[in-house]
Every structure is written in structure tokens, then in C-alpha cells.
Amino acid sequence: MATRNHALLLFSKPPIAGTVKTRLTTEKGGPFTEEEAAEIFRRSLFDVAELCCLALHELENQNAIERALDSDADEHKYTLFVTTTPESNIEAMKKTFNDIGQWPREFVYIADEGETLDDHYDDAFKKVFAKEFDSVLSVSADIPLLPREHLLNGFKWLQYFLATSENGGVVHAPCQEAGVSLIGWIRGTDIDHQGVTENTMGRPALDTYVDKVQTKDIPMALLMPVSGIDDVSDFAHATSMARAAKYAQQFQPDLYVPERFLAWVDWRGIKVGTPPEE
């Protein structure tokens, strides 16, 4: 029996007006004020964080049952990291979460550094792996529609690669534009994030990751795309999907509903429309 330590890394920043989701604001052609855009991000952050807590609790329960049935089964432990930048924002992130009360598990806060977004991703992964974690799975804070199954299956794939692969292993779920919603790999995987978000070669993030793993024959698990919220079209999509999930949950009890995001949308009385066909 071995003990395996896994990290779930939540990339975020304080929900300060004018610094988050600016493409939703009137200044950038959107319908919202800077304060409203920050509130959308804040609620998405909380919904994603809650989903992370629920998924890790479920994974821990599954492992407890497995170990009760098999004394030789590995023990899997999970830690939820919240990473932000710069380091001075850590206290603001702590206050953001603490202001709404007790969370179901403890968060570990770290700061990621670098000149580019790719550098920030690499730095956060390196800092977590330096703490002797066997795998890192990361998600963004602006994907309130993230399915619970993506977190469960993501870690199961990473555990599979730990048990079977001598060449590392990667799991990835793109966003709606072949970008990044979820990405992770096991310790020792010869891969990084360079050239992914800082696109200098004219390649989508998904294609860049595939290029990296193919070149080095690294196994990869691909999960279905998860839509983030960047512009007004994304916001409309998320609104319709959240409302559909709210209704469908009575028939699919395991379906996660981003309640905080949806409550704000409904409070504003927002309706989604699309041009009728002629």
C-alpha cells in the first residue's frame, strides 16, 4: 500500500471591479458595469470552489470504501490549493472566501509568478510538485458549468497513469474555443505550459498540448469541453445552461448547479434571446 497525494489547483484573482471579466463591461462593448462583471466572477469563483470541495469529498469517500474492502489499496489524499498573483493578493483572496463563512475544507493559498500567463501556470505547478504531490489537476475560476465528473474522472485518469505509465500522463479538458478549462499531469511528466496561452505559433491551446504529448509519447486523457465566461455570448450560454441544469437536477440528482451565479442572473431578471430565423 502506498500513500498518494493529489492537488487540485484553483487559478483565481480577487474579484475587484475593473480587473476581472472586463470584456463583459460597457467599456468593452458588453452590457455590465465593472462592479457587475466583478460580481459575476465572484459568484463563479464560489461555485467552482464549492464544486471542488464536493468532488474531493466524494473522491475521499470512494477511496475509504476501496481501502475498507482491500487492505492493499493505495491511500489517496487530496488538497485544494487557491493560487493567485501577485503574492500581495493572497490576503485579499483569503478575505474573499472567509467573508461568506465556513467552507467544507481548508484551502491552501499560494502565489504564482512569471512574465507571461504560461509562466504563471508553470510556476504554480512547480510549487505544488515541490511539496511532494504525485499529481496536480488545475481548473479556472470562471467555469461555473464545470461538471463534477470532470474532477472525478480527471483524478482517476491521473491515478491510472501513476499506476501504469513510465512516461508520465496528462489529462485535459479544453474550453469552447479549444483553450484550457482543466489541465493536469502526474509528477515527472516531461511537459510544461509554454506556448499554450501565449500563442505565438498560431496554434490553439489544445493543439499545442497535443503537440507536446505526441512529440514525447506521453499518454493523455481528453475530457469534453467546458465553456468559460469571457464575453457576452459565453455569459448567455452559461445562463441558459445553468437554468437547464436547475430544472434537470430533479431527475439527475448528481448534476451540479452553479446556484450563486444563477441566483444573481435571476435576481437581475436577465433573459437570453437569439435572433429568430427568417
Span 17-29, pLDDT tens digits: 999 999 999 999 9
pTM comes to 0.95
Q: What is the pLDDT of residue 123?
A: 98
The average confidence (pLDDT) of the chain is 95
Q: Are 232 and 24 in contact (CB under 8 A)?
A: yes
What are the angstrom distances between the C-alpha of 107 and each of 49, 62, 64, 126, 140?
Answer: 10, 21, 21, 18, 15
The predicted structure's pLDDT at residue 158: 98
Q: How far is residue 203's CA from residue 128's CA, in Å, rounded to a whole number?
A: 28
Asked if the model's pLDDT at residue 202 lies above 90, the reply is: no
Give counts: helices (H), strands (E), the chain. Answer: 7, 7
Domains identified in the chain and CATH numbers? 3-267 (3.90.550.10)
Residue 197 or 161, more confident? 161
What mean pLDDT is predicted for residues 195-221? 90
Query: What whole-number distance in Å separates Cα of residue 24 and Cα of residue 120?
Result: 24
Phi and psi at residue 40, to the nearest 5°: -60, -45
Q: What number is the average pLDDT over the span 224-235?
A: 93
Q: What is the pLDDT at residue 197?
A: 82
Contact present, 257 and 244 (Cβ < 8 Å): no
Q: What is the pLDDT of residues 90-146, one digit of tens each?
A: 999 999 999 999 999 999 999 999 999 999 999 999 999 999 999 999 999 999 999
Identify the band that residue 73 occupies on the pLDDT scale cut at 50, 70 and 90: very high
Residue-level pLDDT at 274: 85
The mean-pLDDT minimum among 85-94, 226-235, 269-278 falls in 269-278
Report, as an integer, the average pLDDT of 61-85: 96
- For the cut 90, the answer to whether the pLDDT of residue 275 exceeds it is no
CB 175 within 8 A of CB 181: yes
Rounded Cα distance between 201 and 146, Å, is 29
pLDDT per residue as tens digits for the range 27-67: 999 999 999 999 999 999 999 999 999 999 999 999 999 99
pLDDT at residue 249 in the model: 97
Distances (CA, A) of 247 to 50, 195, 201, 243: 20, 40, 43, 7
The model's confidence at residue 278, banded by pLDDT at 50, 70 and 90, is: confident
